[in-house]
């Protein structure tokens, strides 16, 4: 058989060993580039598939709720939103549950946000890194992983039984704030740590104190990421069922004061779906709940964009 590469080998021999080494190096370099391109394309394909599965799962859930919930709302609009449920099968609207959900979430945010932000500022700016700070962070991470039903039972035993707070917006907001605290605190701490050091140095160079730098420079710079943590905490609070079930109750009531009881949309949805009372209204409630969360997230992102423009 004729050797097809005989001429190339003879030419390389004539050129000397340096040319042969250079050719070998070129071949190895090309093989390495091929492996790198292959690995890059494979990783990109895996990431694309993972992102596609995530988006597809979310789209399926939204479409399923939309297809089943839109007819329930459209057939009784606007009474489905602005009237009260009535009758054995809870027919009618869900207005008291919408008000109760927004009420308890806003009250929980008012309780949790100042405490979480101040704790994050202390951990990130003032506390000396050591065992105590590590224990505090571990406690916050552990609190974030507590199941909601455990937190609901704790709220029932601690706030209602021990402190004799009635089942109300206040007791539910206190229990929800315990779930929101670690989310807001860790997000705020990471946002503060992400602020460049030269920003602080510039403030100190102009004669500002530590607190003035934190209040007027660091926190405004970190505000977009802090708002992201607030949105995540707010989304968890709105969707909680066990916590508000044990601390706020399930009475269909229009809350006025923090000591009034009520029924959140999540609890109302749970009772309609699990007991099989009115699945049509359950899907409509689920759709309204998704819309409320979407509107609150849109508002939070609008505030986030405003802070970025100011910065």
273 and 191 inside one domain:
yes
pLDDT tens-digit map of 222-257: 888 888 888 889 888 888 888 999 999 888 888 889
Give dist(CA 105, CA 118) in Å, integer: 20
Same domain for 61 and 95: no
pLDDT score of 2 more than 70: no
101 and 145 together in one domain: yes
| Cβ atoms of residues 169 and 107 within 8 Å | yes
Say if residue 12's pLDDT is above 60.
Answer: no
CATH of the domain at 98: 1.10.3720.10
Same domain, 97 and 206: yes
Q: Specify whether 62 is located in the same domain as 149.
A: no
Let me know if residue 116 belongs to a domain.
Answer: yes
Q: What is the dihedral of CA 51, 304, 193, 131, to 10 degrees?
A: -80
Q: Say whether both 106 and 224 belong to one domain.
A: yes
Same domain for 142 and 274, yes or no, is yes
Verify that 235 and 186 share a domain, yes or no.
yes
| pLDDT given for residue 157 in this prediction | 93
Segment 97-116 mean pLDDT? 93
Average pLDDT, the chain: 84
How far apart are the C-alpha atoms of 146 and 140, rounded to whole Å? 10
Residue 112 lies in a domain: yes
Domain that holds residue 143: 80-310
Q: What is the pLDDT of residue 19?
A: 54
For residue 137, being part of any structural domain is answered with yes
For the chain, give the percent of residues with pLDDT over 70: 90
Q: Is the Cβ–Cβ distance between 191 and 279 less than 8 Å?
A: no
Q: Are residues 64 and 86 in the same domain?
A: no
Residue 55 pLDDT class (50, 70, 90 cuts): very high
Q: Over 50: is that where the pLDDT of 77 sits?
A: yes
Same domain for 229 and 103: yes
- Phi-psi label, residue 69: left if phi above 0, alpha if psi -120 to 50, beta otherwise: alpha
Predicted local distance difference test score (pLDDT) of residue 274: 80
Region 68-93: what's the mean pLDDT? 81
What would the pLDDT profile of 163-202 be if each residue is shown by its tens digit? 999 999 999 999 999 999 999 998 999 999 888 888 888 8
Residue 239 counted as domain residue: yes
Q: How many domains does the chain have?
A: 2
Final residue before a domain boundary, out of 39, 68, 97? 68
Give the pLDDT confidence score for residue 202 in this predicted structure.
86
Please name the residues in contact with 94: beta carbons below 8 A apart, sequence gap of 6 or more. Answer: 80, 81, 85, 265, 268, 281, 284, 285, 288
Give mean pLDDT, residues 283-308. 82
């Amino acid at each position: 058989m004729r050797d097809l590469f005989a001429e190339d080998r003879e030419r390389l021999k004539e050129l000397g060993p340096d040319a042969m080494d250079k050719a070998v190096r070129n071949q190895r370099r090309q093989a390495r580039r091929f492996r790198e391109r292959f690995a890059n394309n494979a990783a990109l394909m895996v990431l694309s598939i993972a992102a596609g599965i995530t988006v597809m799962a979310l789209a399926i859930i939204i479409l399923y709720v939309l297809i089943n919930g839109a007819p329930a709302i459209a057939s009784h609009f606007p009474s489905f939103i602005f009237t009260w449920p009535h009758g054995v099968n809870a027919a009618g609207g869900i207005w008291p549950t919408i008000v109760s959900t927004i009420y308890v979430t806003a009250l929980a945010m008012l309780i949790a946000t100042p405490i979480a932000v101040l704790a994050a500022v202390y951990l990130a700016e003032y506390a000396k890194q050591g065992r105590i700070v590590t224990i505090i962070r571990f406690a916050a991470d552990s609190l974030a992983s507590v199941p909601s039903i455990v937190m609901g039972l704790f709220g029932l035993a601690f706030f209602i039984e021990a402190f004799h707070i009635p089942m109300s917006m206040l007791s539910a907001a206190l229990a929800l704030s315990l779930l929101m605290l670690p989310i807001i605190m860790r997000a705020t701490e990471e946002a503060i740590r992400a602020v460049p050091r030269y920003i602080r140095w510039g403030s100190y160079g102009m004669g500002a104190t530590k607190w003035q730098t934190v209040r007027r420079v660091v926190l405004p710079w970190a505000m977009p990421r802090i708002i992201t943590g607030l949105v995540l905490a707010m989304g968890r609070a709105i969707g909680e069922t066990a916590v508000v079930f044990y601390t706020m109750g399930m009475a269909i009531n229009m809350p006025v004061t923090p000591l009034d009881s009520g029924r959140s949309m999540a609890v109302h949805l749970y009772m309609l779906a699990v007991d099989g009372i009115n699945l049509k209204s359950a899907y409509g409630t689920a759709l309204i709940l998704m819309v409320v969360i979407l509107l609150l997230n849109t508002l939070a992102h609008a505030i986030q964009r405003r802070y970025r423009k100011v910065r």
